Amino acid sequence: MKITNIESYPVWNGRRNFIFVVVDTDEGIDGVGEVGIVNPAVLGAIEHFKPLLIGQDPMRIEHIWQVLYRGGFFPAQRILGSAISAIDIALWDILGKALNVPIYQLLGGKVRDKVVCYPHNVGHAMEIEPLVESCLKTKEEGWKFVRWGLPQDGEILEPRQSVLAAIKQFQAVREAVGDEIEIAFDVHTRLDLPDAVWLCREVEHFRPFFIEDPLRSENPDSFKTLRPRVHVPLAAGEQFSSKWEFRQMIEEEWIDYARVDLCICGGISETRKIAGWCETHYIKLATHNPLGPVSSAACLQVNLAVPNVGVQEQPRKPSEMLPDIVPVHPQWEDGYLLAPTRPGLGIEFDRAAARKHPAQEGWRRANLRRLDGSFTNW
């Protein structure tokens, strides 16, 4: 079997863009992957990789990963990493289809029958009532988690105001959903150390499942200062593009949950290595998945085969995600994704439907500012 073509599909779903990548072979078996950083630069990276891929054996997945990551002398990071991730996922899809088994069988088989997920609730606003309504709605639907992010006032994010609002939201949500529902809260890297410490201490008694990305990711050493000053579970890693970036976080045990993004960090191949590393430090995966149905399917395959899994991010039920482009998807039931039995990723990708929804101009760029007009993290 040889690779014959690689094609990108930038898609618009009415709210945002996605990028899917299809790898074709001379035996008529194709595979699909998804890009984590939805940026036109990734499309250029896919084209750049084409000459290295055409004619290669798609079953040499690890070899291809090494060639793509190391072949340019400079280590591949986020943009190239996103392209490599999509290609890697597509190659695993091909391998599963060629052998007529789900990918999780190739990773050692199931260690669980289903994977618990958390949704995206109404968030990033200062109001309390819409958030509580959203959390009660997802609880009624069967989700076992609620999740929202650090509140902001339109395009203004003033740390003190946001932390005060978040504390009130925590109290209202916990009182509304009860003790049995887990709370995941995403700071989204928008606080500095003093405010992150303040927030974590104030919400500790509401028993969050984790506080995500309390600090920026460029300098992981900052977690060395944060970790001993707070007593809530911490999650980080969605911005990392390889196992090497996770290294210090894992070895120093500064996090409790590794937010591995399969579509940025190197695909299934790299994620299983990170997962094994985490297992030696009793760190669980909380796979980062704010993306589309291909990413969801890839996360599910890994999480079914990895023993140290905490939760999978799942913005909405798979049946609600681009149903015309991905008409066959994993089954969601009562807050869990169930193990698929179809080969590969267990999904179908309709290329003709994808072409009918081309990506829109104006790729997402969002800026936040403080009251004094200074720039702050999106």
pLDDT of 42 reads: 96
- Greatest CA separation found in the chain? 61
Strand partners, 184: 147, 210
DSSP code per residue over 128-185 = SHHHHHHHHHHHHHT-SEEEEE--BBTTB--HHHHHHHHHHHHHHHHHHH-TTSEEEE
Taking CA atoms, 336 is separated from 170, 189, 367, in Å, by 24, 28, 34
Digit-coded pLDDT (tens) for 209-243: 999 999 998 999 999 999 999 999 999 999 999 99
d(CA 126, CA 44): 39
pLDDT of 362 reads: 63
pLDDT of 367 reads: 81
Residue 11 has pLDDT above 60, yes or no: yes
Residue 161 has pLDDT above 90, yes or no: yes
pLDDT of 364 reads: 58
pLDDT of 72 reads: 86
pLDDT of 309 reads: 98
Nearest to 46 by CA among 28, 74, 22, 72: 22
Residue 86 has pLDDT above 80, yes or no: yes
Residue 341 has pLDDT above 80, yes or no: yes
Of all residues in the chain, the percent with pLDDT exceeding 90 is: 92
Q: Interior CA angle at 167 toward 161 and 172, to 5°? A: 125
Nearest to 114 by CA among 262, 295, 311, 286: 311
Residue 363 has pLDDT above 60, yes or no: no
Digit-coded pLDDT (tens) for 103-160: 999 999 999 999 999 999 987 899 999 999 999 999 999 999 999 999 999 999 999 9
pLDDT of 365 reads: 61
Contacting residues for 263 by C-beta, under 8 A, at least 6 apart:
33, 34, 35, 36, 82, 85, 86, 89, 291, 295, 298
Query: Which residue segments constitute the domains of the chain, with CATH numbers given?
Result: 3-101 (3.30.390.10), 105-343 (3.20.20.120)
Contacting residues for 368 by C-beta, under 8 A, at least 6 apart:
152, 155, 156, 157, 190, 375, 376, 377, 378
Which residue among 231, 281, 288, 329 is the active-site one?
Answer: 288
Residue 338 has pLDDT above 70, yes or no: yes
* Confidence band of 336 (pLDDT split at 50, 70, 90): very high
Which residue among 188, 205, 231, 357 is the active-site one?
Answer: 188
Average pLDDT value for the chain: 96
Q: Interior CA angle at 323 toward 319 and 326, to 5°? A: 105
- 318: tokens are 């798979």
Kindly tell me the sign of the dihedral angle through the C-alpha atoms of 174, 124, 185, 295: positive
pLDDT of 366 reads: 65
Of all residues in the chain, the percent with pLDDT exceeding 70 is: 99
329 part of the active site: no
288 part of the active site: yes
Digit-coded pLDDT (tens) for 33-75: 999 999 999 999 999 999 999 999 999 999 999 999 998 888 8
pLDDT of 165 reads: 97
Mean per-residue pLDDT, 23-30: 98
Kindly tell me the sign of the dihedral angle through the C-alpha atoms of 196, 370, 289, 275: negative
Residue 378 has pLDDT above 90, yes or no: no
Residue 300 has pLDDT above 60, yes or no: yes
Cβ atoms 277, 284 nearer than 8 A:
no
- 293: tokens are 């149905």
